[in-house]
Amino acid sequence: MAENTQHPGVAVVTGAAGGMGQFIVRQLHAEGNKVYLADIDIDKAADLAAELSPDGSTARAIHLDVAKRQSFVDALAEITAAWGTPTILVNNAAVTKAADLMTLDEVEFNRILSINVDSIFFGCQVIGAAMAEQGYGRIINMASLAGQNGGTATGGHYAASKGAILTTTKVFARELAGKGVTVNAISPGPHDLPIVHQTVPAEKLDSVIAGIPVQRLGNPAFIAKTVSLLADEDAAFVTGACWDINGGLYVR
């Protein structure tokens, strides 16, 4: 992959405390960016931030409930007061759930949609507006293969939410393109992460891997590098795109 040419910026990563979020945080921080680790699990986010920056000068944790617009407004105010307007936003927070499609109830359906879609929409709206005002920003939304092929191991509510993320990415890409802000999505297939091992029973994992054309799970560290590439200053000509990283499970 081409060498990242980005100058150090201020990055905000939602769902930063675990899973894919940790890989993204570590990558952006290693490149010299200041990183705010936004998560509803503030204690876990604070532990990782302290590991990366014991004095809090380059990594800090912040509480963020991604299902609430006001939480984004409050977080942005705190971040801006400390380090200025963010230059990078990675909307990574999501809930992955399996469920029986035909008995999925209204409460659970709406809960997953609220967390997974509202987080992207309000992140792009609130922080994207601040980026537009400063004339520069890079937003990367984490979608999923499930939003493209209807899902396999995950529930219909999860697949529907991830499909909505792809459309939301296009909506904000059009809105912000002329203001120096790019908005892109990444759609991972199955990766070697705890959530995959939790969602797919151990006895079925081998058959899942056998069904992937490249015969392996994805490496989350590569997703983090892809986030970094899309966050690069030189990525100004990429917006409204979805980068597929799925081992050949979905080709177009």
Catalytic residues: 158
Sequence letter at residue 113 = L
Q: Please spell the DSSP secondary structure of 14-82, one letter per residue.
A: ETTTSTHHHHHHHHHHHTT-EEEEEES-HHHHHHHHHHH-TTSSSEEEEE--TT-HHHHHHHHHHHHHH
CA distances from 202 to 97, 137, 206, 213, 249 (A): 16, 41, 8, 20, 20
CA–CA distance, 11 with 87 (Å, rounded to integer) = 6
Within 10 angstroms of residue 40's Cβ, the number of other Cβ atoms is 17
CA distances from 222 to 1, 161, 192, 246 (A): 10, 23, 11, 12
